[in-house]
Structure 1
Amino acid sequence: MNRKLMFVTAISLIGFSAIFYLLNKGKSNHSSHYPMAIGDKKDKNARLTWELMRLQDPATGKIPRGIRAKELKFAKELPKANDETSRFANWTAMGPYNIGGRTRAMAIDVTDENVLLAGGISGGLWRTADGGQSWSKVTSPDHHQSITTIAQDTRQGKENVWYYGTGEGFGASASGGGAYYLGDGLFKSIDGGTTWNPISVTSFNSPQSFNSNWEIVWRVATDPSTDTADVVYAATYGAVYRSFDSGDTWNLIKGGAAYFTDVAVTSSGVTYATMSSDGSQRGIWRLPGYLDWADITPDSFPTTYDRIVIGIAPSNENITYFLAHTPGGGKMTEVFFDGTEWNSLWKYEYVSGDGTGSGGIWTDLSANIPENGNVFDNFNAQGSYNLVVKVKPDDPNTVFIGGTNLYRSTDGFATSGNTTQIAGYSPGSTLPFFSSYPNQHPDHHWVAFMPSNPNVLISSNDGGVWKTTDCAASNVVWESLNNGYYTSQAYTVGIDHGTPGSREIVAGFQDYGTWWTNSWDPQKAWTFPQNGDGSHLAIVDGSGTYYFSRQRGKVIKMTLDANGEAADYRRIDPITGDTAGGTYLFINPFILDPNDNNIMYLAEGNRLWRNDDLNNIALTNEWDSISQGWFRFADSLPVQSMNITTLAASTAPAYRLYFGTDNRRVYRVDNANTGSPTFTDITGLWSSAYVNCVAIDPRDADKVLVVFSNYNIYSLFYSEDGGSNWIKVAGNLEQVPGGSGNGPSCRWAEIIPLDDGGTVYLLGTSTGLYATDSMIADSTVWVQQAANEIGTVVVDMIDTRGSDGFTAVGTHGNGIFTSYISHFWDITGNDELKMMNDELRIYPNPASNWANIEFELTAEGDVSIEIFDATGRKAMNDLRHKMGEGRQVIPINTQNLANGIYYCTLSANHSSITKKLLVSH
């Protein structure tokens, strides 16, 4: 497997760690219950390709090295909403309460089996003290959220000490698409996993020479055999390390630059390690103490191997199983996309000496890896993405192996006849209709057994955390422990815009389909009307009709029953769309026209479609694309390879469409609801990059905000004349005025009209949610919102309802958050300065030599005025006044200002407002 490390030289001194890698193998998509396709045969890595397009530095085609840690450190210095006031909008974690996200790491506390710790790949570490009936997040917002491995020191008197590792080397999506969400070394807890601190020598800014290896931590393990030292092992990218002092210092004990590694320790202190074949110290190794490794790799083991995971038999620690992804060798199985995979399973039994040669007995069990003639039933490691082997603590012959599915063998895979599939996909599933195993989820990463009862097994996978009370049963029954384990990864979120007071929310999730709720109760379970990778979606205003989509542009019209379950459906994307295959983006945009929900606009590569007959499409429960109502615009983008990446339709005036592309261009289409109008190019003087969002002011479609999502480019541009002129408005979100540096990736924006006539601009980024109430060119100040609730998790989409300010935020790691935003103090936290249009005036305007600033204060306070030109340069020094309660007027001298547009910012008592000032002499 080609694993190309994609990184560039660090741009600044800021940063701890987190490096993004582009790998050429990704994980498959999966789902349950309703018809879908698992991805795209033309591009098995469509998700990674799409996300890399959004995030890469356009100048290099790569994700900047260490950008996650650097942007987190940069975000710590940005202003946050004032926590001392109660006037802020209250943000609620709305779930989905009953689903989890991708979970590689999980462990059971040996001192209290009700205590579990589990970690989301982009959602942080969570802890439950009641056996999974409720969870609390225990990582702080400024710590790295990519949890890959957890271990407890199980020695008596030391059980309060825990470790977790960060940095996923295969399969992440939150911080970079196509790039991997890598880490900041190890973290440690000394209070039972309640609070955590980084182990400094493993972080990105450590003085140690090996710190880059710590950006991927595959495994952390403790040695329970000695009381004279606190021994910890870490398997990282390229190496295995050992510490004798609980992580304060580390020694390299196995190197060779292997990409995949693993480590496991027996109760007597024997250590096993594996290193993939791309490293100079490749193979399977055994260490009986602390001195010399023995290479015990069997002679007939495949010559090419990637990840090898280890499963020690607790009841007979001389027996160890090794499960490996071995391209070209071992057992071949048919998998998704009409492809094949090769994997190997070996059993090792230690006999004597150092375990090599006749000192160890090897048995090749690869022929018995499950293959049942069905791509869903067959073993599938997805190129090393999901791979686990564990042995039942009371029986060395009951062995569990996990890939997309979880299997149990009662004879140690000595034969194929005693193997049962117990989780993952539903046995016998076929395309296009398939399902998951009851109350379970595919893509398995870890299993753990209850110390007091080895029949009780906890499983973690891409759907969170699950429990069975009898893993030996002929029909294994599972219970979800995802009760407030908020680690789901949302791509999209939508609400009912036509019904004030409605709590209806739909959201699309990575690998987990589309979910629905209409409850005010954040602990009520959501329902699952549509599978696949949840993509763009819409609720018809007040009607009970829904449009959902999944990867690669498959759009479904659907109705739901009273419980939110799918009632009737019809796939409706155009039958002549995507005829070449692959022209739809992985998460492909469509929207309904806000003035007429009978109209849909759909992007297809460099072309645009419109359907104006949605209401008449019958729900026949068929899974074929259609021609009814579809019209493809005659105009197209000038370059065949360009893609339309985002769509936005106006409210007032009606039927104006804006769309952005993956090549910096933004277009405007007037009267888009009828005929075949041409595309007007309104692109500003900005860098070639990916337009991830266009936001329109619903009161005035001339006011438009364009959001670029790539790193190392300027992110935000604003127009008040329909795109004829643009100003930069990213302000303090850029470390460097030109857009380079450690500022976040901006993802989505909404323009929210306020009850008092003002405006809130809400912005989702890779370091959380931000807002401003004033666009003052490059001096715009963005303030972080919900710092303690949303924190620095990636915000991929926002949806708002103007009638009552209801706002839903989709995060890629902690699910959905909601609030109401109707007043400026919802984002500023105070109302000392009234900001109603009729109480903040600039006159005369245009001004010649003098202008008066009139406003009202509700309390005495300090007042300052700043004047900025259209480029964001400060044109007039601060004018500061101590003023009392009541109406005030401040005259300003404008005779030295050149003719043109200026922005006047008035600040008082921690609040501010900006008005446009025209100067004409």
Structure 2
Amino acid sequence: MQLTQLPLPRARWSLPLFPMHRHVRYAYIRTSEDLKNSSRRIQIMKNILSFVNVRALFIFVIIALLPAAARSQKPASLPSQTLMSKLKWRCVGPYIGGRVVTVTGVPGNNHLFYAGTVGGGVWKSTDGAEWENISDGKLPGPSASIGAIAVAPSNPNILYVGTGEADIRNTVIPGDGLFKSTDAGKTWQYAGLRDTHSISAILVDPKDPNVVYVASLGHVFAPDPNRGVFKSTDGGKSWTKILFVDNDTGAICLVMDPGNPGSMYAAMWEAIRRPWGLSSGGPGSGIYKTTDGGAHWTNISRNSGLPSGVLGRIGLSIAASKPEIVYAIIQAKDGGVFRSDDAGATWKRVNEEMKLRQRAFYYMTIYVDPKDPNTVYAPEVDALWVSHDGGRTFTKLKTPHGDNHVVWINPDDTKILLEGNDGGATVSTDGGKTWSTVHNQPTAQFYHVNIDEQFPYHIYGAQQDEGSFEGPSSHSGGLIPFGAWREVAYGESTYAVPQPGDPKITYGSGYYSIFVKHDQRTGEFRSVSPWPHYQEGLSSGELKYRFGWTRPILFSPANPKQLFTTAQCVFRSDDYGATWNQISPDLTRNQPNTEIPSGGPIDLDQSGAEVYPLVSALAVSSLDANLIWAGSDDGLVHVTTDGGKSWQKVTPPGLPESSINCIEPSHTDKQTAYLTARRYMWDDFKPYVFKTTDLG
């Protein structure tokens, strides 16, 4: 930009701010002489401020206000860490809740609630309408994934929080133990069990807050000795493992008779995740009972009336008003809802409907009304189901969001319900007829973020179980309102990608082969999939193209008309998705034993999340449109220098089998690229970062 010398006082701007540029441009003003008095400086600034609404802009450096000699001096370089330390995080939204798998209230206080999110920490509400985070920067550990919360019945200021959720999706975030607060969440202390990773339940003795029980599923992706039930009698200073089956079986549910705290039931679940799938169920699964505080346990899984075959995930609940009544919801071939009227000695199946036990690894919980032993709640995918006849029939309570996981029933006023689902935490004060909004808690889990070239730039992302959104990075009103966010393409786990030059058009993927183009102006969704044959429910080995749960979508930075996506190979479109070319062979290991059906010995669970392996990372050099890098989620790296005509395997020799999650080519040197990989699905939590300066 050529700067023109202008007479004072009529200052003019050469302002390349409003055309679409990704990088921040500075506005310069040059005068015929250096400004020497403050009144003339003020006049210049008034001219500037009358032209620009500074509330919506960054603060610009006006170098014309500096003496000419100072402008000619070369600025001293600062270390990158010094510069980075000045960056501050701010929440830009949207205010939409994310998955909640644990909630609790406080008996005696009908307006106090706690919720644990799987990626956003612990939240507290004093009215059910507004939520406040009470863990950010306070929990003495890195994990913000909360699997269990308990309030000590004898002292409501004492809270225990277990990290790491036990609804074991393949994107599960591991925890780092148990934490305790003695001041209702103002401060927290580490309370042990660092290596349990997935805490599913916490029970506190009704009279002694130092007696605590914890159910641990342990490491999800490997056999692990940290599975089972643990007990502390000193408030978390020390722990004893009181129930253990084997390294493949963890504790998924633990319930206590509030009138007799030595009487408890535990549900043990044999389950393990692999990068390519899930196995739910096996000989380790079962129901155990103790009557002496965990000193001795009895396996009651084969008591009369219970399923005779392989068991999977199990949920349990004791009727506080009549504790000999116990309910179980069981994953099995002949599973369903079971009821015992004699404290577990015998059982009867009262309901076998699949609507209550579909996708068992993700749900399978049951809760009894504390006052009415015949009122039972069962959270599930499409509703919070309720029965008023002892579990024989269930009707829907429509919550604000699907994928329901947990409910707390106020023992003083059982019309007050606190429910957790994939959209957040929600409160009902009328028995489930109406609910509070979940658009008041910024706990969304975003898979990826993208930006465009508008000014201010807009942010694009896909939220787990909500879909995809875009919104501005700043707003004239300061706080970015929820209404500033708009729907874009497409699904909950996609890369949401704006079209270069026209950000109103976006591209995104959905389950299996779904791939769509969305025009925000008209609201139109149009399929642009390279392979539009939708084959829901098939295993990886049965699919022609393995389009994964979250697969790359990008435009070439060197040729913005080229659109790319992947399956086990790479596809390119030169006409915005109207037609496609496959430009690579299979770039994965393609091992048949990793492409088998997923779910386990009882039920298959193949929603698209287990499609494996595929090209999980893709990058085009900004310096050369023919230079393309590809990484697979089973650990291979390839590069092409001729636009896909030929590919070379360049996997780093020191990288074990892993998921390649990002490749970033250098913006200044074609030979250089950076790579990151993750191995949490191999039970390895170390970071892996590589650099090449010779094309691999």
Quick check: TM above 0.5?
Answer: yes
2:513–2:533 Cα contact (<8 Å) kept = no
Q: Does 1:348 align with 2:303?
A: no
Deviation of 1:364 after TM superposition, in Å, equals 1.8
Match of 1:267 among 258, 265, 276: 258
Alignment map for 1:82-481 (pairs within 5 Å): 88-100=86-98, 102-110=99-107, 112-138=109-135, 139-140=138-139, 142-155=141-154, 158-174=155-171, 181-200=173-192, 202-204=193-195, 214-224=196-206, 226=207, 230-237=210-217, 238-257=227-246, 258-270=249-261, 271-276=263-268, 282-285=286-289, 287=291, 298-303=303-308, 304-325=310-331, 327-329=332-334, 343-350=335-342, 362=346, 364-366=348-350, 368-371=351-354, 378-404=355-381, 405-414=383-392, 416=393, 419-423=394-398, 439-442=400-403, 444-450=404-410, 453-471=413-431, 476-481=433-438
TM-score, structure 2 normalization? 0.70
- Corresponding residue of 1:37: none
Q: Deviations over 1:496-552 (max 9, x none)?
A: 1x32322x2211234443222236334525444456442123111342110111243
Residue 580 of structure 1 deviates from its aligned partner by 4.1
Contact 2:588 2:614 in 1 (8 A): no
Q: Provide the rounded CA distance (Å) in 1 between the counterparts of 2:140 and 2:501.
A: 37
Q: 1:528 to 1:154 in 2, by over 3 A?
A: farther
- Deviation digits for residues 94-129 of structure 1, max 9, x if unmatched? 2331222x2221111335444322222343323334
Distance in 2 (alpha carbons) for counterparts of 1:243 and 1:123:
27
Helix, strand or coil for the counterpart of 1:145? coil
**Structure with the largest fraction of strand:** 1
Instruction: State the partner residue of 2:24.
Output: none
CA shift in 2, pair 1:453/1:530, >3 Å: farther
Q: In the alignment, which residue of structure 1 is the partner of 2:544? A: 581
Residues 256 and 282, structure 1, Cα contact 8 Å, conserved in 2: no
**Offset from partner CA, 1:537-578 (integer Å, 9 cap, x none):** 3111342110111243532100124xxxx8101110123889
Distance 1:703 1:387, change over 3 A: same
Q: Secondary structure at the residue paired with 1:116? A: strand
2: distance between equivalents of 1:316 and 1:308? 21
Q: 1:249 & 1:683 partners in 2: Cα distance?
A: 45
Distance 1:291 1:541, change over 3 A: closer
CA separation in 1, counterparts of 2:624 and 2:344?
79
**CA 1:284 to 1:523, structure 2 compared with 1: closer, same or farther past 3 Å?**
farther
Provide closer, same or farther for how the CA distance between residues 669 and 114 of structure 1 changes in structure 2, counting only shifts above 3 A. Answer: farther
TM-score by length of 1: 0.54
- In the aligned structure 1, how far is the partner of 2:624 from the partner of 2:140? 41
Q: Please say if residues 588 and 636 of structure 2, whose CA atoms lie closer than 8 Å, have aligned partners that are also in contact.
A: no
> Which residue number corresponds to residue 776 of structure 1?
none
Structure-2 residue corresponding to 1:516: 470
**Are positions 1:538 and 2:497 aligned together?**
yes
1:716 aligns with 2:689: yes
Write the mapping of 1:459-858 to structure 2, written as runs, cut at 5 A: 459-471=419-431, 476-486=433-443, 488-496=444-452, 498-502=453-457, 504-518=458-472, 520=474, 521-522=479-480, 524=482, 526-529=485-488, 532-543=491-502, 544-561=504-521, 567-575=523-531, 580-605=543-568, 607-614=569-576, 628-633=578-583, 643-654=614-625, 656-661=627-632, 662-670=634-642, 672=643, 677-679=645-647, 687=655, 689=657, 690-698=659-667, 701-710=670-679, 715-719=688-692, 723-724=694-695
Report how far residue 243 of structure 1 moved: 3.5
Q: How has the CA–CA distance of structure 1 residues 285 and 666 changed in structure 2, closer, same or farther, with 3 Å as cutoff?
A: same
**Cα displacement (A) at 1:165:** 2.0
Give distance in 1, aligned partners of 2:580 and 2:363: 41
Shift of 1:169: 4.3
Structure 2 CA distance for partners of 1:535 and 1:653, relative to 1, 3 Å: same
Q: In structure 1, give the amino acid aligned to 2:93.
A: G
Distance 1:677 1:141, change over 3 A: farther
Tell me the alpha carbon deviations over residues 812-861 of structure 1, each in whole angstroms, 9 at most, x when there is no partner: xxxxxxxxxxxxxxxxxxxxxxxxxxxxxxxxxxxxxxxxxxxxxxxxxx
User: 1:715–1:394: structure 2 CA closer, same or farther, 3 Å change rule?
Assistant: closer
Q: Is the 8 A contact 1:127 1:194 kept in 2?
A: no
**Matches of 1:285 and 1:191, distance apart in 2:** 33
> Structure 1 residue 150: deviation in Å?
1.0
Choose between structure 1 and 2 for higher RCO, CA contacts under 8 A separated by at least 6 residues: 1
The answer to whether the Cα contact below 8 Å between 2:228 and 2:244 also exists between their aligned partners in 1 is yes
| SS of residue paired to 2:456 | coil
118 and 217 in structure 1: CA distance in 2 versus 1, 3 angstrom threshold: same
Instruction: Please give the per-residue CA displacement for 1:640-664, whole angstroms capped at 9, x wherever unaligned.
Output: 6685332222334555433334544
CA 1:683–1:172 in 2, change beyond 3 Å: closer, same or farther?
A: closer
Equivalents in 2 of 1:636, 1:577: separation in Å?
19
Taking a change above 3 Å as real, the CA distance of residues 651 and 151 of structure 1, as seen in their structure-2 partners, is same
* Pair 600,187 (structure 1): closer, same or farther in 2 beyond 3 Å: same
Quick one: distance in 2 between partners of 1:115 and 1:656?
57
Structure 2 residue aligned with 1:907: none
**Secondary structure of the equivalent of 2:366?**
strand
Q: How far off its partner does 1:454 sit?
A: 1.8
Tell me by how many angstroms 1:592 deviates: 1.1
Call closer, same or farther: CA 1:574–1:117 in 2, change over 3 Å. same
Q: Secondary structure at the match of 1:384?
A: helix
**Mapped contact 2:324–2:341 kept (Cα < 8 A):** yes
Distance between the aligned counterparts of 1:659 and 1:150, measured in 2?
A: 42
Check whether the contact 1:687–1:713 (CA below 8 A) recurs between aligned residues.
no
Q: Is the 8 A contact 1:321 1:348 kept in 2?
A: yes
Q: One-letter code of the match for 1:535?
A: T
**AA in 2 matched with 1:552:** Y
CA distance in 2, matches of 1:719, 1:252: 47
Alpha-carbon separation, structure 2, partners of 1:451 and 1:567: 47
CA distance in 1 between counterparts of 2:561 and 2:116 reads 43
Distance of aligned partners of 1:222 and 1:381 in 2 relative to their CA distance in 1, 3 Å threshold: farther
C-alpha separation between the residues in 2 aligned to 1:256 and 1:161?
Answer: 31
Shift of 1:296: 6.0
**Which amino acid in the other structure matches residue 182 of structure 2?**
I
The Cα shift of 1:254 comes to 4.0
Question: Aligned residues, how many?
Answer: 549
Q: Is the 8 A contact 1:167 1:182 kept in 2?
A: yes
Q: Which amino acid aligns with 2:161?
A: Y
CA gap 1:370/1:695 in 2 versus in 1, 3 angstroms:
same
Shift of residue 459, structure 1, vs aligned partner: 0.8
- Structure 2 unaligned segments of length 5 or more: list them: 1-78, 218-226, 270-281, 535-541, 592-612
CA distance in 2, matches of 1:420, 1:576: 37
1:608–1:310 Cα change, 3 Å: closer
